Amino acid sequence: MRLRERIKESYIDYATHYIDQCNIELLHTDVAKRKDKLRNIAKRIVRKPAGYISLESSLQSSAKIHKTTIYELYNADLEYPDDFDW
């Protein structure tokens, strides 16, 4: 059975900030190690680890304070590098 079928998660309203965080992490990984890193990231996206839950909770709290949605929030720490190797 595929991992996606075993996990009972909903991806509606997914905190896309986590995807950005994973993408930036991948870009900072040595090119030769990216295949394994990508596999690890894919599993983390499907399983929603504690890091995701924490980020989502923080985003929801900030959104409530600023009376907006999590998708309108900007995190300056999630800047993509200007230059990277594929």
pLDDT in tens, 23-77: 999 999 999 999 999 999 999 998 899 999 999 999 999 999 999 999 999 988 8
- For residue 1, pLDDT beyond 60: no
- CB 37: neighbour CB atoms within 10 A? 16
55 lies in which domain range? Answer: 37-79
pLDDT at 66: 96
71 near 16, Cβ under 8 Å? yes
38 versus 6: the higher-pLDDT residue is: 38
Q: Domains in the chain: how many in total? A: 1
| Cα distance between residue 76 and residue 66, in whole Å | 16
In a domain, 28, yes or no: no
Distance, CA of 9 to CA of 3 (rounded, Å): 11
Is pLDDT larger for residue 82 or for residue 32? 32
Classify residue 52: in a domain, yes or no: yes
- Of 61, 64, 59, whose CA–CA distance to 74 is shortest? 59
Is residue 14 in some structural domain?
no
In a domain, 47, yes or no: yes
- Decide: pTM greater than 0.95: no
